[in-house]
Structure 1
Amino acid sequence: TLTFLKTNFINIPFFFPTEALKLVIEAAKPGVSVLSLCEKGDAYIMAETGKVFKREKDMKKGIAFPTCVSVNNCVCHFSPLKSDPDYTLKDGDLVKIDLGVHVDGFIANVAHSFVIGASKEAPVTGKKADVVKAAYLCAEAALRLVKPGNQNTQITEAWNKIAHSFKCNPIEGMLSHQLKQHVIDGEKTIIQNPTDQQRKDHEKAEFEVHEVYAVDVLISTGEGKARDGGQRTTIYKRDPSKQYGLKMKTSRIFFSEVERRFNAMPFTLRALEDEGKARLGVVECAKHELLQPFSVLNEKEGEFVAQFKFTVLLMANGPLRITSGAFEPEFYKSEFDVQDPELKSLIQSSASRKAQKKKKKKVSCTVGHKTLLWFCKQCVKYRI
């Protein structure tokens, strides 16, 4: 599949996040600051996306989700500013890297977890190994369940069973979203570990051919309840449905730059031309809900959270995962395993798509483009 994609597509966005993730993972060593890793990931994405479709002056491309590096009990969205308290990585830290890329609004997200210093010779054991293994197997189960005809509730139940097998819990109420062009939080969602009220309110949905999802797994050794950790929120997203006449000049200048540069994609205040003024301007915008915050969330101190996220295209012959990190199962030795025999069998089954019979009739490039959901060499000119 990888060879086919490289042969038939031009610098498609889902190669960028995987390579950016690899770059950040390789740089994550003891003594390295989280801020430097976030800057490295974002800089790589901007540099690489800047090399494609140069003639399309009006095309927006770049970061679909800023690089976040959340450590140990920090659940998500930690991407500090230069003026914020930083964190320096240590041997044994459980690190979660989360980022996303888009080209013309076509989004590819990825997240990966690993423990610094883990190796075949010195595998991780205990709670860290349990939660990493549980999260990884939840992601593998989801890859096989997120397919046309299945329901979103099937994934929710599978995640609960797998996590509980490892004495862990999915983070309560977290959502995986359908992706659409320019939309990172589509209508159809998969919910993790819902409360009774969330279970009643959450809309059931069936997966359909040619849909795209960012499947996001977050598993905790604790109760699975994420709380605002008190750190500064640095990531926001424009809410196109909200309008308000901003009173402060600083806010208006800030908001104008946000609309011009990021449209409806999440962004970090670190990316603004003047970080200091951005910190001031964002306050009024967030207060009146022009921007949606991505708060830094934490589990209880002493617990550990692992995350795996991948982007998947629901093709007619099966799901196609287009982003992922390289997981090393022999680095993590847990005393637990999946208990449910059906889920165990599911995870052990092949996730490869069924081969389609070649059609003699040549598919027109516009149809092929819509089917493949990205830019192929033959139909860039159609700009669909």
Structure 2
Amino acid sequence: MADATEAVDHTLNNPDTLTKYKAAADISHKVLETVTGWCVEGAKIVELCQRGDRLLGEEVAKVYKGKKLAKGIAHPTTVSPSAYVTPYTPLTTDAEEAETTLKAGEIIKIQLGAQIDGFGTIVCDSIVIPSSVNKNDEMPGRQADLLLATYYASELLLRLMMPPGMLASGTDEEKKKAQSDKPVSQSKMTQLLDKVVKSYGCSLVENTTSWVFDRNEIEGKKKIILAPGEGQRGEGIPEVGEVWGVEVGVSLGSGKLKTLSNRPTLHRRTTTTYGLKRPSSRATLSEIKQKFGLFPFSLRQLEDERAGKIGVVECVRGGVVRQYEVVGDKDSEPVARLLTTIALTKNGIVRLAAPPSPDLEKFKTDKKITDEEILKILEQPIAKSTGAKSKNKKKKKKPAKKAENEEEGESSEEE
């Protein structure tokens, strides 16, 4: 039996792998849409996170019934206030933070994800809490600038990640020439994305990182770091057959970071081994292994939140658990983030879990992208047409005459 297990191909060459990714993505989309609807003025963030996680669990339980495979939450529901950069999930036992509510007109980030058999799909969207100013869903002024900058930066990054010649057409010689081009370097990615956000008077968030995803792993060996700080650098280039979590963060301020005073509540187990001395620490680690594997979790998801807050301390100190510090914009300016889980296939990019495409006609700003090189890249499709008509025919506002043609329609039959 062990040999048979070893022989299973968990790459995208196995159609079952893509099927599981898509099943997880369907759940991520459904829960994101529902949580978005709950986000109104006065809603408590901790309650939104709790409800989102319950819904994730309920939806995951409906699929692959009777199958002996692990499934669950790939990323707990987090709702990050305006100037917060990292995913935020307060605890019910931290009285002050448990009272944190959403404010009318603020830009928040909702992040969550489901996993089936270790294949995780994480998605993050940025929305504006309804207010009298944007009651008709229109985004005025600086809100529009920030959301447009983030949207176009994300669309550009996807196209820059495509291996050279992936969608090349023409003669064999022309295809070969296109495939011989060098992949876009990470410094070039930062340079081009910086131009996009500067068009809207915004800045890239420092050290925004995209990771290659593997089975049971959302921070693989390869990573792309945008606007890297001192001593930071990405490693590796995207290749066909890989799944990536592609993230873009944009700020109305400088994009520089500061660590906030909030308790770190988001954690993830590492592969480090360490002899924990305290029984409470060992009990906490045992629960983490059983419930979450190597996926991120919030301390509020533990059976006893108070005991978990104590037990996790030695786990972090010993390196068996990593804690994610709560980080915000240094200037306390609003930040927007988008995170899309994609598969790089022979037919192009498949958006597995992605934030919904905005109706760009709702964004009211006089700013736009004028750089010809960027506009040309944004016009490129991200996948080959399969002959199916695009489902997304929304009119796009012009900074970029982007062909988002068949962006999702091409998500089938790709390995």
TM range (shorter): 0.7 to 0.9
Stretches of structure 2 that go unaligned for 5 or more consecutive residues are 1-14, 165-182, 388-412
Indicate the residue corresponding to 1:48 in structure 2.
59
Q: Write out aligned runs for 1:69-88 (5 A).
A: 69-84=79-94, 85-86=97-98, 87-88=100-101
Q: Which amino acid aligns with 2:113?
A: G
Matched residues, number: 349
Say if 2:241 is the partner of 1:210: yes
1:322 is paired with a residue of what secondary structure?
strand
Q: Which amino acid aligns with 1:277?
A: A
Q: 1:142, CA displacement in angstroms?
A: 1.8
For the residues of structure 2 that align with 1:310 and 1:114, how far apart are their CA atoms? Answer: 15
2:220 is paired with a residue of what secondary structure?
coil
Indicate the residue corresponding to 2:255 in structure 1.
224
For the residues of structure 2 that align with 1:33 and 1:81, how far apart are their CA atoms? Answer: 11
1:12 is paired with a residue of what secondary structure?
helix
Q: Write out aligned runs for 1:322-337 (5 A).
A: 322-326=352-356, 327-337=358-368
TM-aligned CA distance change 1:66 to 1:296, over 3 Å = same
Q: Write out aligned runs for 1:1-384 (5 A).
A: 9=19, 12-57=23-68, 59-84=69-94, 85-86=97-98, 87-117=100-130, 119=134, 121=136, 123-149=138-164, 150-151=183-184, 153=186, 154-195=188-229, 197-198=231-232, 201-203=233-235, 205-240=236-271, 242-300=272-330, 302-326=332-356, 327-355=358-386
Deviates more, 1:167-176 or 1:122-131: 122-131
1:309 is paired with a residue of what secondary structure?
strand
For the residues of structure 1 that align with 2:376 and 2:136, how far apart are their CA atoms? Answer: 29
CA contact (8 A) 2:250 2:337 kept: yes
2:240 is paired with a residue of what secondary structure?
coil
For the residues of structure 2 that align with 1:249 and 1:41, how far apart are their CA atoms? Answer: 31
Structure 2-normalised TM-score? 0.79
Q: 1:65, CA displacement in angstroms?
A: 0.9
- The sequence identity of aligned pairs, in percent, is 32
Stretches of structure 1 that go unaligned for 5 or more consecutive residues are 357-370, 374-384
CA contact (8 A) 1:74 1:298 kept: yes
Structure 1-normalised TM-score? 0.85
Q: Which amino acid aligns with 1:276?
A: R
Bigger RCO (CA 8 Å, 6+ sep): 1
Q: 1:301, CA displacement in angstroms?
A: 5.2
CA RMSD of aligned residues (A): 2.3
2:364 is paired with a residue of what secondary structure?
coil
Indicate the residue corresponding to 1:367 in structure 2.
none
Q: Which amino acid aligns with 2:146?
A: V
TM-aligned CA distance change 1:372 to 1:52, over 3 Å = farther
